Structure 1
Amino acid sequence: MTAPSTQERTGTRTRVRYAVLASDFVILMLNYADRAVIGVAAPLIISEFGFSNAAFGWILAAFAFTYSPFGFIGGWLADRYGPAKVMGWAAIAWSVFTALTAAGVGFVSLIIIRLLFGAGEGPQATVTAKIMHNWFPKRELGTALGIANAATPLGGAVGTPVVVAIMEATQGNWRLPFIIFGVLGLLCAIGWFIVVRDRPEDHARVSAAELAHIRQDEHVPADAAEDGAGASGPWLHLLRLPAVWSTAIAYFGYAWILWTFLNWFPTYLVNERGIDIAELSVTGAVPWVGGCVGLALGGVFTDWLVRRTGRTLGPRRWTVVVCLAATGLLFGLIGLVASTTGAVVLMTVVVFLLYFTGAQYWIIVGTVVPAERYGSVSGAVQMFATSASIIAPTATGYLIDSSFGWTGTFAVASAVAVLGALLLAVVGGASGRREAAG
């Protein structure tokens, strides 16, 4: 049965887009909670199997070997088959392999499970960006993406103490949290399929007034947009736009810090700062709270700047430049802070600033490429950027075991982020219209 046409819909403006946003929020929160489990359980896993930091770094990086390419594959599938279907099946896949992590019996089995888990989780960011682009007008897009993605650090904030509580209640059983979170994911996937559709036109409950509100700025003339916006061409050609490839490199710097924090900060607190697993439920969760607030405020702030200036690309680009550079500089100081409390507070500020930029990478790309190519182009950007999720966890393990130690590890991450921000500042404002049309 097809959804009714707009002529058959009522004139009252419905709010179905907020139900879609809420559904996306829930599934992304669980996505990151699932992802955070291994970081919290890492000290126990390392101890049980006798892994070195370098060996465990490879287990962490295995996730990213599939997560990164499946960001692109998920975007391409979303363009072809619809984002709602792709997200629902991805949630089922990652939930199954979250639960199966409990079956890991050593290095090889954990590597294989993490590879499959990463493939399931890969599409979520690209597909979320496409769903929000489909369901929200441009003037609300930063807020919508900011709120949706705020679920990811919230998942870490909630998941960390829950995992600690489960392990404490079961005398250090690190396997049970994976099983519990996997089952929750399957239940959330069922709810997703009930609520979400690819586009508002496909949803029977969307009124003509809400549809008109969502589509209000689709026909803005190209010359009303900034230089480079509205470019066209094959998706591979669109990757040559300066705003696209410089954003990808800046996003790589963002991802390097994120994955170093996500995978290694709990281990840093336990092994270097000497806190116990019980204390980790608070100290490990606090920075995630900062990230949740940062993502929500970053979206609201940049939408306000867009309305205030009448420009789409510039305010979002400079928000990334300033906040990512500050993130990198502060992250490099973590290992130099004397007290554990000071390190956690500084990390909270770092994660706040990092996530303040979180929604902007997707919107910058969406500003300069056509909607029908958005999934493929943003997926390619994500695939490049999240290659940091392969390199950073592995490199971190080796750096920690080397003379660099934790202080050197934080300094390397700092340099990667700052260089990405500087490149976006210098190149990201260049017009790509001529290259895309050529």
Structure 2
Amino acid sequence: MKHHYRWFIGLLLFFTGALNYLDRAAMSVAAPLIKHDLGFNDAEMGVLFSAFFVGYCVFCFVGGWCADRFGPRRVFAIAAAVWSFFCGATALMSSFAQLLVVRVLFGIGEGPMGTTTNKSIANWFPRNEAGRAVGLTAIGQPLGAALAAPLVGLLAVNFSWRIAFVATGFLGLVWLVAWLVFFRDTPAQHPCVSEQERALIQCSRAQLRVVASPVADDANEIHGVWHYVLSTRVLAVAFAFFSFNYVLYFLLSWLPSYLTDFQHLDIRHMAVVGAIPWLGASIGLALGGVASDWLTKRTGNALRSRKGVIVVGLCGSAACVLMASRVATVTPAVALIAAAALLAFMTPQTCWVLIQEIVPGSRVGAAGGFVHLLANLAGILAPGLTGWLVQYGGGYRVAFCFAATLAAAGALGVIVLLRPFNASHKRSADGTVAM
């Protein structure tokens, strides 16, 4: 621990990702019971799933900007308090309108999570560990979704769906206490970080500086934030992230209902089977981060390596989702969905690392927040559109096909739009990576 405190910080970020996805998946796991209890149909549940992302998207950008200005410690503390409170408050709601408002406010609390995590990693980890750090800390997210199926499902069956929301909200408050005790905005502010570890982090970021444009870097920045966030390269990353998120929120919102309504599993069996795809997603997160770092080190070409991981992940996921739309029995369907989740989850950590590499460090929070905002528009689109397709537009098979098409389109967008600043894009003798 003496020289590796940054990995303890990574553990805290791992747990916050798990709690975020546990909390947001609680609604989808409990959806069959909520529909029965409150008399909602699939289209109405789709609107409730999407409402979360109305608040979430806006505060992806706001949270990133605040993390740059006020530091990730303060931003994450406020966000965790808000999302935990409104997750628990869901248990008190009894009408569609009440749930709609609470879901928006819950989304506002969770909005800063992704960008503030990325800002924390940018502050705490050497550049050459960024892919692994983002990938390994992000594993908590699908594990949280996997845990949601048995934890929320069994609590809801044995007690009530309302008790399940209170329990998950309380866990967020426990994490908040640990965050305030153990985290500081930078390694230099923390007494538990050794001089050797501080030097390692600082030296790495000084020597492996990525040039965001031919004329701007952290020391001599002449462009405002909108120059970076509206660049073609950043928008290409946002489109890839959007395509991944569509698949993610399609599964996160509707997989439990698909297993109960289409595959005819009961709640207890769904609670177990529904965890399997998220275990595959955990493997994909670790694999994508390690693979992109390894390829970058092997080839010396960061952009091409990370693009390759994104393209393979999105194309492979699209193929598996498309095949899942053609099967009618539960075993091959779950196997294909798990494979799709594994491949798709090679994408997000690579997108986060690309943001660190194509904009200056002082703009990572704001640029990451803007990318996350655009990407999470998929959270508004996917649940509501899927509910409409299931209810009126041809059922689950059409919904699966649409998700596959968007994943493939994201891969194509990366191939076409994410290009280097110059033809070489090689590591120069002084350690700078030209983009």
Which TM-score bucket, shorter chain as reference? Answer: over 0.9
Q: 1:369 aligns with which of 359, 375, 378?
A: 359
Aligned to 2:320: 330
Deviations 1:309-330 (A, max 9, x none): 1222221111101211221222
Q: Which 10-residue stretch deviates more, 331-340 or 180-189?
A: 331-340
- Residue 278 and residue 229 in structure 1: after superposition, are their counterparts in 2 closer, same or farther (change >3 A)? farther
Matched, 1:41 2:33: no
Structure 1: which 5+ runs fail to align? 1-11, 434-438
How far 1:334 sits from its partner (Å)? 1.7
**For residue 363 of structure 1, what is the amino acid of its counterpart?**
V
Deviations 1:349-385 (A, max 9, x none): 0110111122011111110100111100110011011
Matched, 1:97 2:86: yes
Matched, 1:191 2:157: no
Matched, 1:346 2:333: no
SS state at 2:116 partner = helix
Matched, 1:251 2:241: yes
Matched, 1:202 2:189: yes
- Residue 432 and residue 66 in structure 1: after superposition, are their counterparts in 2 closer, same or farther (change >3 A)? farther
What CA distance in whole angstroms lies between the structure 2 residues aligned with 1:30 and 1:243? Answer: 31
Aligned to 1:301: 291
Aligned to 2:161: 174
Q: Which 10-residue stretch deviates more, 233-242 or 382-391?
A: 233-242
**For residue 348 of structure 2, what is the amino acid of its counterpart?**
G
Aligned to 1:213: 200
**For residue 194 of structure 1, what is the amino acid of its counterpart?**
V
SS state at 2:283 partner = helix
Matched, 1:426 2:416: yes
How far 1:226 sits from its partner (Å)? 8.9
Aligned to 1:77: 66
**For residue 289 of structure 1, what is the amino acid of its counterpart?**
L
How far 1:188 sits from its partner (Å)? 0.8
SS state at 1:333 partner = helix
Task: Give the conservation status (yes or no) of the 8 Å contact 2:243–2:410.
Answer: yes
What CA distance in whole angstroms lies between the structure 2 residues aligned with 1:404 and 1:146? Answer: 36
What CA distance in whole angstroms lies between the structure 2 residues aligned with 1:297 and 1:365? Answer: 19
What CA distance in whole angstroms lies between the structure 1 residues aligned with 2:251 and 2:409? Answer: 19
Aligned to 2:432: none
Q: Which 10-residue stretch deviates more, 255-264 or 354-363?
A: 354-363
Matched, 1:289 2:279: yes
What CA distance in whole angstroms lies between the structure 1 residues aligned with 2:298 and 2:263? Answer: 45
Matched, 1:279 2:269: yes
SS state at 1:396 partner = helix
How far 1:241 sits from its partner (Å)? 2.5
**For residue 158 of structure 1, what is the amino acid of its counterpart?**
L
What CA distance in whole angstroms lies between the structure 2 residues aligned with 1:226 and 1:123? Answer: 24
**TM-score, structure 1 normalization:** 0.92
Q: 2:104 aligns with which of 107, 111, 115?
A: 115
Deviations 1:26-48 (A, max 9, x none): 12111111111111000111111
SS state at 1:217 partner = helix
**For residue 265 of structure 1, what is the amino acid of its counterpart?**
L
What CA distance in whole angstroms lies between the structure 2 residues aligned with 1:67 and 1:338? Answer: 34
- Residue 209 and residue 48 in structure 1: after superposition, are their counterparts in 2 closer, same or farther (change >3 A)? same
Q: Which 10-residue stretch deviates more, 232-241 or 191-200?
A: 232-241
Task: Give the conservation status (yes or no) of the 8 Å contact 2:136–2:289.
Answer: yes
Task: Give the conservation status (yes or no) of the 8 Å contact 1:286–1:344.
Answer: yes
What CA distance in whole angstroms lies between the structure 2 residues aligned with 1:428 and 1:139? Answer: 21
Matched, 1:237 2:224: no
Q: 2:16 aligns with which of 27, 32, 38?
A: 27
- Residue 195 and residue 79 in structure 1: after superposition, are their counterparts in 2 closer, same or farther (change >3 A)? same
What CA distance in whole angstroms lies between the structure 1 residues aligned with 2:387 and 2:269? Answer: 23
**TM-score, structure 2 normalization:** 0.93
**For residue 179 of structure 1, what is the amino acid of its counterpart?**
V
Structure 2: which 5+ runs fail to align? 424-435
Aligned to 1:127: 116
**For residue 108 of structure 1, what is the amino acid of its counterpart?**
A
How far 1:228 sits from its partner (Å)? 6.7
Correspondences of 1:132-171 after superposition (within 5 Å): 132-170=121-159
How far 1:333 sits from its partner (Å)? 2.3
What CA distance in whole angstroms lies between the structure 1 residues aligned with 2:389 and 2:214? Answer: 40
SS state at 1:216 partner = helix
Q: Which 10-residue stretch deviates more, 174-183 or 157-166?
A: 157-166
What CA distance in whole angstroms lies between the structure 2 residues aligned with 1:432 and 1:120? Answer: 40
**For residue 184 of structure 1, what is the amino acid of its counterpart?**
L
What CA distance in whole angstroms lies between the structure 2 residues aligned with 1:243 and 1:286? Answer: 34
**For residue 76 of structure 1, what is the amino acid of its counterpart?**
W
Task: Give the conservation status (yes or no) of the 8 Å contact 1:242–1:431.
Answer: no
How far 1:227 sits from its partner (Å)? 7.6
SS state at 1:215 partner = helix
Q: Which 10-residue stretch deviates more, 233-242 or 390-399?
A: 233-242
Task: Give the conservation status (yes or no) of the 8 Å contact 1:13–1:209.
Answer: no
SS state at 1:332 partner = helix
How far 1:206 sits from its partner (Å)? 1.1
Q: CA RMSD in A?
A: 1.8
Task: Give the conservation status (yes or no) of the 8 Å contact 1:142–1:299.
Answer: yes
SS state at 1:219 partner = helix
What CA distance in whole angstroms lies between the structure 2 residues aligned with 1:295 and 1:63? Answer: 24
Task: Give the conservation status (yes or no) of the 8 Å contact 1:365–1:378.
Answer: yes
**For residue 346 of structure 2, what is the amino acid of its counterpart?**
F
How many residue pairs get matched? 419
- Identity over aligned pairs, percent: 36
SS state at 2:314 partner = helix
What CA distance in whole angstroms lies between the structure 2 residues aligned with 1:432 and 1:111? Answer: 48
What CA distance in whole angstroms lies between the structure 1 residues aligned with 2:32 and 2:201? Answer: 47
Task: Give the conservation status (yes or no) of the 8 Å contact 1:331–1:410.
Answer: yes
Deviations 1:62-109 (A, max 9, x none): 100010110001000000000121112111110111100001101000
- Residue 221 and residue 319 in structure 1: after superposition, are their counterparts in 2 closer, same or farther (change >3 A)? closer
SS state at 2:108 partner = helix
